[in-house]
Structure 1
């Protein structure tokens, strides 16, 4: 491995072990992170016109800011292209349900003879990908296994290429009834608690401030459950919903629409896109990113959020009981009380 490759992830290193498979005139990279792989790719294929499709705003921002000139970057819940790609490299998603959705979506943007490369960490479940891709990829074969990762290759199934993609058909909907408030939740594959309400959010909804009005920020909104509950319970609130994931943001917009509510829905890397001040901040903050447990985004949020709180504003969050958020909230926001400890979750509330 060259010195320039030293910062590459295991996934990128495995891909670069088979350079003969990487040649493409207009390759599409799906949900790759920015670790220098694109530089290595362009060194091998200097004339390639690369497109990057990311559903994660952090990865999209890193790639688009580093490769302004020579890479076409897309952050959206749907990828569409007039150009037909002759190669696609897909990072195996942390949610298996997202994979058929991704393949169905990109199928119309691939040339008939396009090579599909699927790469991922073994502990992420890529070994069982053959069952998941059966309707979408033909001739799916394992190519390499190294650095705790696996690489598969195949070609797009003609049936998948000839089927128009309809985003609406991929929503799962379910009904909720909490404190006599009825909601319909719409969620795309891979979005947190796609099929039912999770315990943490349910406990949070039962422990929100009794009176709420003014601007509300829902941090890590997922499919928009918390905001819609607040919107129905406290119609005077103005809702803002933030997430890092494009599929979550589109799901939240759909959930607001179904429940006849309005809100400002936007992408943000922690607080990077937050410019307003709020009366109430609510969150079931994310702490799983990929296979490893990460708290960084939430700790960044809790240590920086006071600048976006109005006088006498409050923040209510739910967290797994093993996560020690109370000292961070005490240090950066103010006196913090534990409202509840139940079923492995804690509810914290801080008044500014």
Structure 2
């Protein structure tokens, strides 16, 4: 498997990768883990990912201590942290504040990322808690930086990173909570708003919110339709934690779990509702959603119903018509389409 460009840039600076207890943060490449093991055969290597799909891949690498959660904590200090720049600048700041307590006082942090993904802004974003920030190298449209943390950084408190906003839907008011990096920060996005206005009129039984993000769709359904059992899934640990916070903030019950597509889904659902993702990083990816549309029928009851919202330019209708006996385009507004299947 080919290494990503950021990983290739790191390996051409392999003299910087020597460490006893390195931590990889959001590394997408299992092969880079193996390269790091070759450089440090006696090291204890850890990997922390907020993306469950990436976590699953890295956890299969022998002798890698893989972690998946919204919050990385460890008593043992790392002498090297290698951080792949995330797609959200706010998430980058969150990660830095979270990681500061786990870096050894003589340790080093390397930040690597695609130039178009915003890594060039990393020094400015980190200026309040870092020192000796310097650019080390650039190649393959990527840049590599290093720094250490300042002394006396305030203790990390995850609660201080939780933001919230209020929405109105179906005559019900709900508080939406989210951590950094979760889709549609601070407001209800147009696509989800259109979807909520075009839900089936009477929802009951088991409901799946696929790609739940901060939990808006699942929470609204549970609030409006009491006779429902809500399952919510996402590939992102920050989203999973946010959806749980949203349910708690509104005194609602629901099951929220991590899944790479439908990998961890079992059972059958009467309703599946989704604003499925199609962006990943700085590139556009459709594979996850197209696989979901193809396979989700296996997890639906005989009369199960699927309602999704998607950008109007996405050609999902032919896929849905192929796999469902009934298909209808029930709304088309503001660049979004609502697809309904049964």
Alignment of 1:184-263 (within 5 A): 184-263=175-254
* 1:165 matched residue in structure 2: 156
Describe the SS at the equivalent of 2:251.
coil
Q: Distance in 1 between matches of 2:29 and 2:134?
A: 26
Query: Which string of whole-angstrom CA distances, capped at 9 and with x for unpartnered residues, describes residues 259-309 of structure 1?
Result: 000111110010100011000000000000011100100011110011100
Describe the SS at the equivalent of 2:160.
helix
The runs of 5 or more residues in structure 2 that have no matched partner are none
* 1:3 matched residue in structure 2: none
Describe the SS at the equivalent of 2:295.
helix
* 2:123 matched residue in structure 1: 130
* 2:9 matched residue in structure 1: 14
How far apart are residue 35 of structure 1 and its match?
4.2
Matched, 1:54 2:49: yes
Query: What RMSD in Å do the two structures reach over aligned CA positions?
Result: 0.9
From 237, 256, 263, give the equivalent of 1:265. Answer: 256
Describe the SS at the equivalent of 2:89.
coil
* 2:280 matched residue in structure 1: 289
How far apart are residue 335 of structure 1 and its match?
2.2
How far apart are residue 236 of structure 1 and its match?
0.6
Q: Which moved more, 1:250-259 or 1:11-20?
A: 11-20
Q: Which moved more, 1:210-219 or 1:124-133?
A: 124-133
* 1:108 matched residue in structure 2: 101
Q: How many residues align?
A: 342
From 34, 37, 41, give the equivalent of 2:32. Answer: 37
* 1:92 matched residue in structure 2: 85
The runs of 5 or more residues in structure 1 that have no matched partner are 1-5
Structure 2 contact 30–61 (Cα < 8 Å) conserved: no
From 140, 150, 165, give the equivalent of 1:147. Answer: 140
From 290, 296, 299, give the equivalent of 1:299. Answer: 290
Structure 2 contact 4–29 (Cα < 8 Å) conserved: no
Structure 1 contact 9–35 (Cα < 8 Å) conserved: no
Alignment of 1:305-320 (within 5 A): 305-320=296-311
Q: Distance in 2 between matches of 1:321 and 1:302?
A: 16
Q: Distance in 1 between matches of 2:124 and 2:325?
A: 50
Q: TM-score, normalised by structure 1?
A: 0.96
Query: Which string of whole-angstrom CA distances, capped at 9 and with x for unpartnered residues, describes residues 35-86 of structure 1?
Result: 411111111111111010000000000010233xx11110000000011000
Q: TM-score, normalised by structure 2?
A: 0.98
